[in-house]
Structure 1
């Protein structure tokens, strides 16, 4: 493992740990609405990740029609996302 690879892994671990601590302390919600996810990561990216099955929106109990996405899962998919997960135009 090179120093560059190690620094990326360390950075990701720090981000994940910080997010987990903030969620557990109630400072960050553990889920995002689809609209919030669209604003943070881009509508086309979030819709592509949903269509590829990388993230799954869920409807929480109650009579709200909002769909929610797990924040940690969404952030990990966003970090790992690269051009290899894109579908060719003919398959969209």
Structure 2
């Protein structure tokens, strides 16, 4: 039972490190002129629609709509990474 919990915790730590690495890589790309924003539909695919909507409704991420009606919605990548990492760390500590 204890070994199973250790394996679960280890796999969770590995997942968090991988996400941190990816987040850092995307941050560097943003700093060198790569894109600063992710379209909402991309964020839905990466983090889950319900999760992104909860973050948006709670004011944890900013959203920008360039036009009216059916314009695409952009979300700063930095906001998504910050909230995602905070959420993951909170889950691990629980």
TM range (shorter): 0.5 to 0.7
Matching of residues 5-44 of structure 1 within 5 Å: 12=20, 17-26=24-33, 28-44=34-50
Counting matched residue pairs gives: 75
Residue 69 of structure 1 corresponds to: 75
- Larger RCO (CA under 8 A, 6+ residues apart): 2
Moved more, 55-64 or 44-53: 55-64
Give the drift of 1:76.
0.9
1:81 to 79, 84, 87: 87
Hey, what does 1:48 align to over in structure 2?
A: 54
Q: TM-score, normalised by structure 1?
A: 0.62
TM-score (norm 2): 0.61
- The 3-state SS of whatever aligns with 2:62 is coil
Structure 2 residues without counterparts, runs of 5 or longer: 1-15
Unpaired stretches in structure 1, ≥5 consecutive residues: 1-7, 85-92
